[in-house]
Amino acid sequence: MERTGSRVTHEGTQVSVRIDEFRYEDGSTSQREVVSHPGAVAIVAHDERRLLMVRQPREAVGEEKLLELPAGKLEQGESPLECAKRELVEEVGLEAAQWRPLKRIYSSPGFTDEEVHLFVATELTEVDPEPGEGERIEIVEVALDELEETIGRCRDAKSLVGLLLFAELRRR
Amino acid sequence: MERTGSRVTHEGTQVSVRIDEFRYEDGSTSQREVVSHPGAVAIVAHDERRLLMVRQPREAVGEEKLLELPAGKLEQGESPLECAKRELVEEVGLEAAQWRPLKRIYSSPGFTDEEVHLFVATELTEVDPEPGEGERIEIVEVALDELEETIGRCRDAKSLVGLLLFAELRRR
């Protein structure tokens, strides 16, 4: 499979849409409409007794306080790890001395190229949170013995993958 | 939080983009760009020894054979369960006598309203698969004792949530 062409069909304020053309090994071709995304990170930041999550309005899905892992989009030129460090400070006011990659996932590979880099962050130190302009973020401390209930309440795909993989790691 | 307006800014072949306006309880307002999606389903279809997955090209993320649960988009007027039954036949050639809802998740609530309805399907009967036109789907049987390795290989968010929750159910 080879991408043989690409043209942008919509430049929005946050989202752009393109049509890519592909040729397959059997000689056939196809076009695919793709929502371009810069990629994102999400972080399982924890110590021995708790992990940190956030609640925020997610207008796209009509939720006023969606429960999620700290997360955010990659900025121009930023590596996933740099982005994760920045978002952890901005959203929950934490720095971490230890960072481990947990998983890289595709959010919805049928229509968008968004890839989310999941990290586990430990050895936490508190700093001042620096919410971006217009962000309405509430920090939520989750006791580790409430991990299973929290998974039950969570409906965000990237956060569920992070929490479920973290729960698996803890059982080992 | 109340949606006070909505206008479509792009009608693509598969994807449309809109700008929604919101008013919050504190009187402030915001605009959000949202990729409209009809919603989707994904299915953990299993018996005592195996579950069924698929591999298919996912051009948006540059993968020739992405490993996923059987899944698909809701068609006009279709309920999630009807969609799941249709997709299970089309993609892997199975009917199931037992269907249980597993979880409803948001794929990427920062920019799209896509919601995925996950189901567990059991008491399986083989029928002829009916792949849609242009679909290049390979059926993959996963032995249940290879579930953990399969989770390690899988990179699709909805499929990971389905597999990880199914692994939790099996441990109970």
> DSSP letters of A8-47?
EEEE-SS-EEEEEEEE-TTS-EEEEEEEE---EEEEEEB-
At residue B107, φ and ψ (nearest 5 deg) are -65, -45
A146: contact with B, CB 8 A cutoff:
no
Per-residue pLDDT tens over the stretch B102-139: 999 999 999 999 999 999 999 999 998 776 666 689 99
The Cα of A92 is separated from the nearest Cα of chain B by a number of Å equal to 18
B15, B107, B165 ranked by CB distance to A33: nearest? B15
User: Residue B133 catalytic?
Assistant: yes
Please identify among residues 149-168 of chain B the ones whose CB lies closer than 8 Å to any CB of chain A: 155-158, 160-161, 164-165, 167-168
Q: Three-state DSSP class for A70?
A: coil
How do residues B75-102 score in pLDDT, each as one tens digit? Answer: 999 999 999 999 999 999 999 999 999 9
Name the A residues in 13-52 with CB < 8 Å from any B CB. 13-15, 17, 19-20, 22, 24, 30-35, 37, 40
Chain B within 8 Å of A101 (Cβ-Cβ)? no
pLDDT at B128: 81
Indicate the range of A10-14, A63-67, A69-73, A145-149 predicted with least confidence: A10-14
- Cα separation values, A88 from A92, A102, B19, B77, B165, Å: 6, 16, 29, 42, 27
Instruction: Please state the separation of Cα B22 from the chain's center in Å.
Output: 28
Task: State how far Cα B5 lies from the chain centre.
Answer: 28
d(CA A153, CA B167): 18
- What's residue A134's pLDDT? 62
Quote ipTM for the complex: 0.95
Catalytic-role residue among B2, B25, B126, B133: B133
Q: What's the rounded Cα separation, in Å, for the pair B72 and B75? A: 9
Chain B residue closest to A12 (CA)? B33
Mean per-residue pLDDT, B48-74: 96
pLDDT, tens digit, 9 for 90 and up, residues A157-166 = 999 999 999 9
CA-based nearest residue to A99, from A85, A120, A123? A120
Query: How distant, in Å, are the alpha carbons of A105, A149, B40, B74 from that of B79?
Result: 27, 28, 10, 7
State which amino acid sits at residue B50.
R
A6 at B interface, C-beta within 8 A: no
Q: What sign does the dihedral A22-A25-A29-A31 (CA atoms) show? A: negative
Of A21-35, A97-111, B20-34, B121-135, which range is least confident?
B121-135
Q: Is A12 on the interface with B (CB under 8 A)?
A: yes
Question: Are A95 and A121 spatial neighbours (Cβ–Cβ below 8 Å)?
Answer: no
Which of A22, A158, A168 is most worth mutating to test chain B (most B CB atoms within 10 A of its CB)? Answer: A158
Among residues B6, B4, B2, B86, the alpha carbon closest in space to that of B40 is found at: B86
